[in-house]
Amino acid sequence: MATIMGVAMGDIVDKTCKQTPDYTLCVTLLRSDPRSSSADTVGLGLILVDKIKELGYETLGQIVMLYKNKLMLRRPLHECNLRYKTIVDVDVHTAIIAIKGNPKFAEGAIVDAGVEASVCEGGFPKGQSPLTSLTQNMIKICDVTRAIVRMLL
């Protein structure tokens, strides 16, 4: 019986991820979290917001390390620090509350998180960003999360 339930719940992940811009990323992120096995669409959205938060904190940690070693990039790193703090402190918080209440506001917060990451990346001299991989991942996760939040509207 548990296997049947797991397959049925796995179908919601598969079905939901097929409606996002990056099926593989979506499935990978959701299946890596045990909560997805019993989640509805709201729960899947919350799991992805947690992934945004985790990546935001990881990026902030990288910024702190880079700030000590990349003296010529201190200004753009400082700007990125502010932008990623906005993501983890404001956008994530807003998205969590809104997904549970008014998903329209969650979509706005998720879009903002992607924009903040893009602006961070754009603040570096061309080809000199040490955060490109993290920033691109953030943008992709935000795109997938936004697609799921839109299903709640």
Fold (CATH) for 40-151: Butyryl-CoA Dehydrogenase, subunit A; domain 3 (1.20.140)
Among 104, 112, 122, residue whose Cα is nearest residue 86: 112
Sign of CA dihedral 116, 131, 127, 143: negative
Q: How many helices (H) and strands (E) does the chain have?
A: 7, 0
Mean pLDDT in consecutive groups of 10 residues from the start of the chain, 153 residues? 43 96 98 95 98 98 95 96 98 97 94 98 96 98 98 94
The C-alpha angle 37, 21, 62, rounded to 5 degrees, equals: 80
Please give the structure tokens belonging to residue 132.
Answer: 């490109």
**pLDDT attached to residue 3:** 39
**pLDDT attached to residue 2:** 40
Domains of the chain, by residue range, sit at 40-151
